[in-house]
Amino acid sequence: MAVVRPFKAVRPAKDLADKVAALPYDVMNSDEAREMVKGNPYSFLHVDKAEIDLDKSIELYDKKVYEKARENLYKMIDDNILIEDDKPRLYIYRQIMDGRTQTGIVACTSIDDYMNNIIKKHEHTRADKEQDRINHVDYCNANTGPIFLTYKAQKEIDDIILKWVENEPVCNFISEDGISHIVWIIECDKDIEKLCSLFGGVQYLYIADGHHRAASAVKVGQMRRQQNPDYTGEEEFNYFLSVLFPDEDLYVMDYNRVVKDLNGLSTEEYMLKVSDKFEVSTYEGEGQYKPSSKHTYGMYLEGKWYVLAAKEGTYNPNDPVDRLDVSILQNNLLRPILGIEDPRTDKRIDFIGGIRGLSELERRVEHGMKVAFSMYPTTIQDLMDIADAGKVMPPKSTWFEPKLRSGLFIHKLK
């Protein structure tokens, strides 16, 4: 059963929270981050992407980057930009985007639960990205970015959260992208104990987003155990920073595809091959075609939108990976027709998060790409089914919005 426990968060001073909070380090490159922090010395990107404060000639994974991250983090603490709470607490983090609310518990979760698969995964991680965050956590001696976890909603947990969000928040601001961020501290020991007990009855937690951060936090914890062979299990390095959201709150957006060419086929040849696996019809509506059900797709080609519907026999309905829309498209069109063998590495394909809208697909086709596909979003239940089966999602299957902001909660490892 899942272990969830309170911790002494390092948090921004109340009047600086909106300036400190930053998008996750992995949703922008270094040049974009440099632009984002102009005029804002408080941005947590100075910690999470510390290369922005160094000469551009320095390699991204150079030791100097991690040393600068540590220097910046502890200077923010010394300057009271970030302040550590005096007692271990649980916290509530609410985000509101376009009128939709998601509310989670900020806590520490167990590296043992990760290793024992009580915290379930649905993605592979890359060694180079893992090593980057291992170094970052190790040098900073802290988890600086939360892991985005979900669990099957429970009324008793919801009821405690609803009681606390009636209080005055300690943090409440709207970020530059129009998303509200609101934080409450759960200060009642009895409610903290009750929540920890309730999560102890949750069979599994699921990583929604943050697989590399989670894997790296766990490996740093394992390193610290080797360095401290008499560890008791209560040390902070045995736990990592997480935000736990009920599955009912989460919203997965579509993750769309654009491809550079038709793999040497004429338009007529291509359409004939597509019609072998999909029912194809011209979209007669206005604007772009956004799929409204599973196993249907929009296709934008030569200035026109088409509707594709997967034919019977194109997928195994009993296989949680094979029946995913992204798998059906990959296995029946992208690979056999367009020659996209590995979408993670093929330079002929690109992926467009649904937050950018379907007009972006049209724009990309009009500026050099050949064909675009609009997707029906993968569901939270899909994610859980795949994780429960011990399988892995295809790349670029999920796009979560809103993104958790870094810098609102930091968990020190000692």
H/E/C letters for each residue in 211-253? HHHHHHHHHHHHHHHHHCCCCCCCCHHHEEEEEEEEHHHCCEE
pLDDT for the residue 271: 98
Residue 304, Cβ neighbours under 10 Å: how many?
9
pLDDT for the residue 108: 98
Residue 381 belongs to a domain: no
Residues facing 358 on adjacent strands:
none
Pairing state between β 349-353 and 255-259: antiparallel
State how many domains the chain has: 2
Q: Are residues 247 and 260 in the same domain?
A: no
pLDDT for the residue 201: 95
Q: Are residues 243 and 288 in the same domain?
A: no
Residue 394 belongs to a domain: no
Q: Are residues 246 and 264 in the same domain?
A: no
Q: Are residues 161 and 275 in the same domain?
A: no
Residue 243 belongs to a domain: yes
Q: Are residues 199 and 328 in the same domain?
A: no
pLDDT for the residue 115: 97
Low-confidence ranges of the chain (pLDDT < 70): none
Residue 384 belongs to a domain: no
pLDDT for the residue 27: 86
CA pseudo-torsion sign 272, 274, 278, 279: negative
Residue 150, Cβ neighbours under 10 Å: how many?
26
pLDDT for the residue 124: 87
Asked if residues 137 and 217 have their Cβ atoms less than 8 Å apart, the reply is yes
Q: Are residues 133 and 271 in the same domain?
A: no
- Could you report the per-residue pLDDT of 162-183, keeping only the tens digit for each? 999 999 999 999 999 999 999 9
Q: Are residues 155 and 40 in the same domain?
A: yes
Residue 383 belongs to a domain: no
Q: Are residues 86 and 189 in the same domain?
A: yes
Domain limits for position 371: 255-376
- Could you report the per-residue pLDDT of 235-270, keeping only the tens digit for each? 999 999 999 999 999 989 999 999 999 999 999 999
Q: Are residues 301 and 313 in the same domain?
A: yes
Q: Are residues 88 and 164 in the same domain?
A: yes
Residue 386 belongs to a domain: no
Q: Is 112 exposed, middle or buried (0-12, 13-18, 19+ CB in 10 A)?
A: middle
Residue 388 belongs to a domain: no
Q: Are residues 318 and 246 in the same domain?
A: no
Residue 99 belongs to a domain: yes
Distance CA 218, CA 147 (A): 12
pLDDT for the residue 344: 85
Q: Are residues 197 and 269 in the same domain?
A: no
